[in-house]
Amino acid sequence: MVFKGFIKFSRLLIHHRYLIWTMAKREIAAQYVGSFLGFVWTFIKPLVMICVFWFVFSVGFKSMPMGDVPFVVWLAAGLAPWFCFADIVTSSTFVVVGNSHLVKKTLFPSQILPVIKLLSGLITHAVFLSILLGLLIFQGISLSLYSLQFIYYLCCFSLLALGISWMVASLNVFVRDTGQIVVVILQVGFWGTPIFWDIKMMPSDVQFWLKFNPFYYVVQGYRESFLNFVPFWHHGLYTVYFWTVTLLALLVGAYVFRKLKPQFADVL
């Protein structure tokens, strides 16, 4: 049953691939409509943010390098996947409500709306990654074949984000407080994930509980891909845990969306 549902959804994505790509590009363009610099802002925003963090932590707080890696590079490697994930989930929360004119059309496949948000978020993520690569080159940090495994971790948080997005997007139609709840949870998750701080600073028993946060796997994976060159198969048991949580999120998210979808038009 689950396998058939996956095949059906895959065919749906292939059938509407041009629609998804067109709407994703329109999503990006709409953010900068009327702006003189346009898409250039996609580069400016993360670049300014990284410069601010560099000044605050490296110049102001005199943060020490993380091993042989400058703190700003270590930080950027952790920020890259989190900001993309948070942007996808936050924007997807309102995607059904914000496209009510499309959802009310019975032939429109509303389940692709979170996919469109996912794709547009990944386009922005590509910009952040280019800045991260620029930082690595500027700091004289060499890359290796292990750097390519960021693609694996990209797939990891994309599927996790998609499952959560289906759930929150459908729930927000009926409970409009969902958006605020998502923002609060993401704020807690941001500081509860070792992005600004090293998990090794914590006692071993605290580390054990913090690692139940599935996004720790992704943040650590990005750093191990670009900075430490640790293969992803090195984390056997934790990999099993992450994919168990992610597949569960996908199944639950898809189930909730499918069950609530027939009532979207009436509520909207």
19: containing domain: 2-267
Alpha-carbon gap, residue 162 to 182, rounded angstroms: 14
Alpha-carbon gap, residue 226 to 79, rounded angstroms: 13
Q: Output the tens digit of pLDDT for each of the chain's 268 residues.
A: 555 666 676 677 777 778 788 887 777 777 665 555 556 767 777 778 777 877 777 666 666 666 678 888 888 889 999 999 999 999 999 988 888 877 777 677 888 888 888 888 888 888 888 888 888 888 888 888 888 999 999 999 999 999 999 999 999 989 888 889 999 999 999 988 988 888 888 888 888 888 899 999 999 999 999 988 888 888 888 999 999 999 999 889 888 888 888 888 777 6
Tens digits of per-residue pLDDT, 10-58? 677 777 778 788 887 777 777 665 555 556 767 777 778 777 877 777 6
Alpha-carbon gap, residue 76 to 119, rounded angstroms: 21
Domains contained in the chain, number:
1
Total-model pTM: 0.87
Whether 95 and 162 have beta carbons less than 8 Å apart is answered as no
Whether 117 and 92 have beta carbons less than 8 Å apart is answered as yes
Alpha-carbon gap, residue 209 to 142, rounded angstroms: 33
Number of alpha carbons in the 13 Å side-chain half-sphere of residue 10: 6
